Structure 1
């Protein structure tokens, strides 16, 4: 039994476009407030559970037999089944939020996926281990580590997988749906709307942002002095600290390119990109303070 595609290209009046814009902004509002509610819930749960802050929990290791949820999803992978479960559920929530109250409007869902994805970028930055390149305290806590009382080594895998599974999936979905719309729409001067739109600055910025996201997916962090996979071949052999510094610099550059491109891609993205800039500055200052404190201890 085949299921019909529920979305269509429809023409909207100005009032209907305004209503769609309001709903898109409301989605971003709900997506960000859900982050705050999740942080509060985690904090309450950990306070009630009164988990002991010992050395094994700080290193992300558990005493006794390892639960099946704490084993890698695939042998050789870093992230565990628990990481994939949490990030997968969050992705489902954001996808549900993207299709909520969209009717059969194809472009509504397309725009919503991009809007919701960008609303999550500040959280991704707040989870990042800004002290990663520090030789004295590479596990310095991020602001999300502070807010949730989860140690940074435990939080960092969520940061990696959140970017790859949640943010990237929504951005790729947004871009793919838009490109399909351009391909299927005609233009009187260029034949197809795609031939026209790829010449426009805003679409070029969107493609640049998507390319940056793709490169972020491909380049894995170094786990030793010698590259072990083809995805790490761009990092020259050397000390682990040198390779970490080079990886961090390249990773940060790609994030900056993505955010700048998104800023100029669409006006509505600017609010979230300015939030991301503020989150990056706050997280960097906090991690620097923790690194400095670690040196004095």
Structure 2
């Protein structure tokens, strides 16, 4: 009986590895171009909706605008959109990977990292200011309010980027465990001593912590979260913000050191963060002053 899992550990020539690298780079480009395409669609729909609605009264919200779970801030619609985006990225990772296990492993990591700039561009940079809903770059570009975008920022990190990066790490660990090494027994015992894998483990730890400490707003906090997040609302916001940003920085530094192919996305993410910060500062200083 054949296994439903089609992927295998295959040996590739240098030419085949170069071809795989070209496909991986192309896949990352497609993942980022699809972001621009999606933004254009959203902008078009937003403009058309505004033009056609005119002075018509607002329609009552549908069941899709209700929370997925009672007490959560994110709606069913927001989960659906992020789930569809994750499905697209998974399909893009599988595309043209053949039976090459490492091709799939590298693909989910590259596609996941390619989404970091978008995640930053819709983040509420003024979260700890007196006006936490100040527009991000993506809010300005799409015309969607920051209060609408912020739940997508939370969900995007939790159910799009995190699963892809966790899948990348898990697939690599399984490969290391199942591969033998003449001196260390398993490849895992050898590779955990190498800097690139150590940086990958640090990045994985940062992803897990970001996932654990970015629970749905309004959900009951765990004992650890309740212990860490005490005091007035503004103080808790400040603690969360600096802790969150510190973990993102740790993830970026670890990923940058982990593998050369990640560096372009980390540099793009840094540029997106600077751009988003400048945008928020200008709006706070000159628009909403």
- TM-score normalised over the length of structure 2: 0.93
Unaligned runs of 5+ in 1: 55-61
Work out whether residues 154 and 214 of structure 2, in 8 Å CA contact, stay in contact via their aligned partners in 1.
no
Q: In the alignment, what sits opposite 2:22?
A: 22
Q: In the alignment, what sits opposite 2:181?
A: 187
Q: In the alignment, what sits opposite 1:46?
A: 46
Unaligned runs of 5+ in 2: none
Residue pairs, 1:1-297, within 5 angstroms = 4-50=4-50, 65-135=60-130, 137-220=131-214, 228-230=221-223, 232-293=225-286, 295-296=288-289
In structure 1, what is the Cα distance between the partners aligned to 2:175 and 2:216?
39
In structure 2, what is the Cα distance between the partners aligned to 1:268 and 1:83?
31
Work out whether residues 122 and 137 of structure 2, in 8 Å CA contact, stay in contact via their aligned partners in 1.
yes
In structure 2, what is the Cα distance between the partners aligned to 1:231 and 1:146?
36
In structure 1, what is the Cα distance between the partners aligned to 2:209 and 2:235?
20
Taking a change above 3 Å as real, the CA distance of residues 294 and 183 of structure 1, as seen in their structure-2 partners, is: same
Work out whether residues 108 and 168 of structure 2, in 8 Å CA contact, stay in contact via their aligned partners in 1.
yes
Taking a change above 3 Å as real, the CA distance of residues 101 and 223 of structure 1, as seen in their structure-2 partners, is: closer
Taking a change above 3 Å as real, the CA distance of residues 111 and 220 of structure 1, as seen in their structure-2 partners, is: closer
3-state SS of the aligned residue for 1:283?
helix
In structure 2, what is the Cα distance between the partners aligned to 1:230 and 1:183?
34
- Write out the 4+ residue segments of structure 1 that deviate beyond 4 Å after TM superposition: 51-54, 221-224
In structure 2, what is the Cα distance between the partners aligned to 1:104 and 1:43?
39
3-state SS of the aligned residue for 1:50?
helix
Taking a change above 3 Å as real, the CA distance of residues 228 and 294 of structure 1, as seen in their structure-2 partners, is: farther
In structure 2, what is the Cα distance between the partners aligned to 1:200 and 1:22?
25
3-state SS of the aligned residue for 1:174?
helix
In structure 1, what is the Cα distance between the partners aligned to 2:196 and 2:207?
17
In structure 2, what is the Cα distance between the partners aligned to 1:223 and 1:29?
33
How big is the shift at 1:243? Answer: 1.1
In structure 2, what is the Cα distance between the partners aligned to 1:228 and 1:7?
40
In structure 2, what is the Cα distance between the partners aligned to 1:193 and 1:50?
58
Work out whether residues 221 and 244 of structure 1, in 8 Å CA contact, stay in contact via their aligned partners in 2.
no
- TM-score normalised over the length of structure 1: 0.91
Alignment coverage as a number of residue pairs: 286
In structure 2, what is the Cα distance between the partners aligned to 1:211 and 1:274?
21
Further displaced range: 232-241 or 88-97: 232-241
Work out whether residues 106 and 168 of structure 2, in 8 Å CA contact, stay in contact via their aligned partners in 1.
yes
